[in-house]
Each structure stands twice: as C-alpha cells, then as structure tokens.
Amino acid sequence: MGPATVVIDGLGSGMYSAGIPVVLIVLGILFSFGLAGGFADINMGLYGIGFAAVGMLSTLGITLATDAYGPIADNAGGNAEMAHLPPEVRERTDALDALGNTTAATGKGFAIGSAALTAMALMVSFIEVAKSWIGRFADANPDGVFLGLTRDNAISMGIIDFVERFDIHILNPLLLCGLFLGAMAAFVFCAMTMKAVGRAAGAVVNEVRRQFREIAGIMEGTAKPDYAQCVSIVTASAQREMVLPSALAILIPVVTGLVLGVAGLVGLLAGALSSGFVLATMLNNAGGAWDNAKKYIEKGNLGGKKLPDGSKNPVHGAAVIGDTVGDPCKDTSGPSLNILIKLMSMVAIVFAPVIIKYSPIIQGWLGLVNK
C-alpha cells in the first residue's frame, strides 16, 4: 500500500520481535541466579549469572559463522551481477542472501543477549572494584578512614551492605536520574550512528553525480567510473564519524559518576542495559524484515520487480525504500549497541577510583546529598 505502510509494518515487526528475547533473557537471569543458590546467597546467584554470560559467549564460533554467512551470500550476488552471470545465478544468491538476513538477525540476537548478561556481571565487578579502592583510599588517609569506612570495613562489605551504604535503590533520585540518562544514551548513540550512515551515503551520491558530469561515457559503457574514490569516501567517513559516538560512550559514565555518584552510575548502566537490549533487538529484526520483504517481491511475489507491461512495480519500489531504511538499522545502529553496553560498563570499572574519590567533592559543590 506504499512506502509509508512498509516502514510502519517493519517497525511494528521489529517491536514485536523484542518480546520473546527479553522474556528468554529474564528467564535466563532468574534460572541462573536461582540454580546457583542466589535466593539464599546473593553472591552465589550473581556468580551463576556470570557463568550464564560465559555460556552464551562460548557460542561465539557459531555466532560469527551465522553473522558472516549473510554478507558472503550478499557479496556473491553482487559478484554474479557484475560478472553478468545468467539470471538464475542471481536468483539463487538472492535466496541465500534472504536466509543470511535471518541468520544474521539470530547471530546479532545472541550477541546482544550475551552483552546483557555480561553487562550485569560487569556491574557486580564495578562494586567489587569500588570496595577495593575505598579500602586503598582509607589506607592513604592519616586517620585510616574514607567515606566513613576503614579499609577492613570497606573490603568486608557485602553487596547488600554496599547497596545500603550508597543508597542504590529506585527511590534515590540520583539513581533514577542515572536510569533516564542510560536509556537516553542508547537512543542518542543510535541516532549518531544512523546519521553517520546518512552523511556517508550523501557524500557518495554527490561523488557519483560529479563523475557522471565530468567523466563522459559512463552510462554508455565506454568509460569506467572511479570506484576507488567512492571506497575512499566511505572508509574515511566510517572512521571519522565514529569519533563522537565513541567519545559519548566513554564520557557519559565518567561524567555521570562524578556528578551523580555511585548510585547514579549504577542507574546509568542499568538504564543503558535495559533500553539498549530492547532497542538493538528491534532494530536488528526490523532491518532484516525489510530486506527480506524486498527479496520476497523480487522472487516474483506481489507482481515482482516489473509489471507485465514492463513498467516498474510500485510495490517493489516501496519495498526498496523499506530496505533502505532497514540497512542502517540492522547493519550499523543495532549491532553497535551491544558494544555500547559493554563499553560503558568497562569504562565505569576503569574509572572507578576517580569516581569514588572525586564524586563526593563534586556533589558537595553542587549541594547533592551523599552519605
């Protein structure tokens, strides 16, 4: 019924697809926590979640294989077209490419699922690192106390004691602010990567137009276009455009930790984890659905690429627009979110001593309450 309905239905399919993975991850967390004895001893339960994360990461071999299958089939189709092979070859590679979109979505689902469990384990690691640094700072003080804790008190604190000490609960406005910032970070990060794809595509379009103007005979086949220049534009753009998203992933945990303290930082990590997981699943599967919808039509369904009179089929045109929307979703923004989730957790661990030492000072300047 047109490009608008294709985009709407693709978004709806992607949103629906987030349901089952989220339920499965929730069940995985509950079972791994409970079977390890977490409801009797929280430390053992968190240990069990860490093992579950390692279990998902152990499938890396098959995950990489399913991810690589799609691009290989896609490139095979491109090679067949450039080599002017018979049409049936392209039909076969398109069928394989359609299967590759599904396997790629599955592989990306495994990646973001393992990232969710890994990030939860890393949050526990942050607490342990924070306890260790509180003990070190207490040793360095003349009175042997830091944040009201001695070295022995800090190291012997359990997770429940740490949570109570730093008010890590949902009613703490600092943690709630961190939750909102974490959820926002996932969407802003996606926006940056998606717009980066748009800018790179625009630069390539301008270069192609320039070559059509300045190199005579391209359309007639008597002259070859400058492929290297397009490749150079895309490569340089890919590297340049990733500077700002990378800086965002590094700076947000540090700034949030310094301003909102430990509670705000834990909220940030939790917000990025929850929103990033759902958003990545939606983008990955919506993009794959749009791509496969186009291939479904190109196989001859719904009128195929061309109508009987030889004119272009508007149904195929609408599907092409949907596929164009889906490419940055499934190939850029969606897969990058699992990196964001894990990177923010690692940054929090690395900068834990800075946050532990200076956040009380900064919060004192800002008038924020902190125990």
At 371 the pLDDT is 45
Report yes or no: 363 and 370 within 8 Å, Cβ to Cβ.
Answer: yes
Q: Give the Å distances, CA to CA, from 212 to 82, 105, 203, 216, 218.
A: 19, 37, 14, 7, 7
Look at residue 35 and tell me if it is in a domain: yes
Residue 88 lies in a domain: yes
Identify whether 332 is part of a domain: yes
> Burial letters for 44-57: b for 16+ Cβ neighbours within 10 Å, e otherwise?
ebbbbbbebbeebe
Q: Which residues pair with 264 in a beta bridge?
A: none
> If you compute the radius of gyration of the chain from its CA atoms, what whole number of angstroms results?
25
Helices (H), 215-298: 227-241, 243-298
8 Å CB contact between 279 and 188: no
Question: Is residue 278 a part of any domain in this protein?
Answer: yes
> 10 lies in a domain?
yes
What's the CA gap between 113 and 281, in Å, rounded?
9
Query: Could you tell me if residue 371 is inside a domain?
Result: no
Q: Mean pLDDT, to the nearest integer, of 308-317?
A: 88
CB < 8 Å & 24+ apart, contacts of 368-371: 368/174, 368/259, 368/260, 368/261, 370/261, 371/147, 371/148, 371/165, 371/166, 371/167
Is the pLDDT confidence value at 202 over 70? yes
Range of the domain at 214: 3-366
Q: How far apart are CA 303 and CA 307, in angstroms?
A: 6
Question: What contacts 274, CB < 8 A, 6 or more positions away?
Answer: 182, 183
Name the pTM for this structure: 0.87
Which tens digits make up the pLDDT trace of 95-139? Answer: 888 888 788 878 888 888 888 888 888 888 899 899 999 999 999
- Is the separation of the CB atoms in 338 and 112 below 8 Å? yes
Structure tokens of 306? 């061309």
CA distance 146 to 20: 46
* Total tally of structural domains belonging to the chain: 1
312 within a domain of the structure (yes/no): yes
* Local confidence band at 369 (pLDDT 50, 70, 90 cut-offs): low
The per-residue DSSP string of 202-220 comes to HHHHHHHHHHHHHSTTTTT
pLDDT digits (tens, 9 = 90+) for 209-247: 999 888 888 888 788 888 899 999 999 988 888 899 999
Helices 87-140 and 60-82, interaxial angle, to 10°? 140
Look at residue 20 in the predicted model and tell me its pLDDT.
92
The residue assigned the tokens 């004895």 is: 37
Q: Please report whether residue 69 resides in a domain.
A: yes
Question: What integer is the mean pLDDT of 141-152?
Answer: 89
SS3 assignment, position 225: coil
Contact 108, 280 (CB under 8 A): yes
Interatomic CA distance for residues 63 and 279, integer angstroms: 20
- Among residues 280, 293, 275, 277, the alpha carbon closest in space to that of 105 is found at 280
pLDDT, greater one: 37 or 101: 37
pLDDT of 45 over the 80 cut: yes
Rounded to whole angstroms, the Cα distance separating 9 from 65 reads 29
